[in-house]
Amino acid sequence: MNRLSISLAVLSMTVLFAAPAMAEDQTLATVTNGNTTTEFKAAGTKGVDMNKLRPWSEFANGHPDIAKQLTYKPALISDDGYAKNHPELQAFFSTHPDIREAMIQNPGNFVAIPPRPGE
């Protein structure tokens, strides 16, 4: 996946979080299988600390390779060795230890795996 795709995924997530009123009722997709219909709705921002999400989104936009790796393997968020190998991430987590802790507790509030082509 290239940088543009990652940037678009991060931007999309940020826009959804920035527009809670619109996002809470928005249906993203509907899937019908037999007589069962499933609606996929945006999660909204309830319970998400926007003061933590904004700095992370800015960092992720500036470091798409790191953001992509953390997206596909959130366990790396708490891996000190990984942070040491990525000084920018280590500096970010040093400046924002509260964001790192929040990401460890609930990585889904900060990273989301973008759909694969065709999904």
Name the pLDDT band for 72 (thresholds 50, 70, 90).
Answer: confident
Contact 28, 41 (CB under 8 A): yes
Please report, as a single letter, which amino acid is at residue 26. Answer: Q
Contact 67, 6 (CB under 8 A): yes
**What's the mean pLDDT in 72-96?**
95
Q: What are the pLDDT digits (tens) for 26-54? A: 777 778 888 988 877 665 666 667 778 88
**pLDDT surpasses 50 at 75:** yes
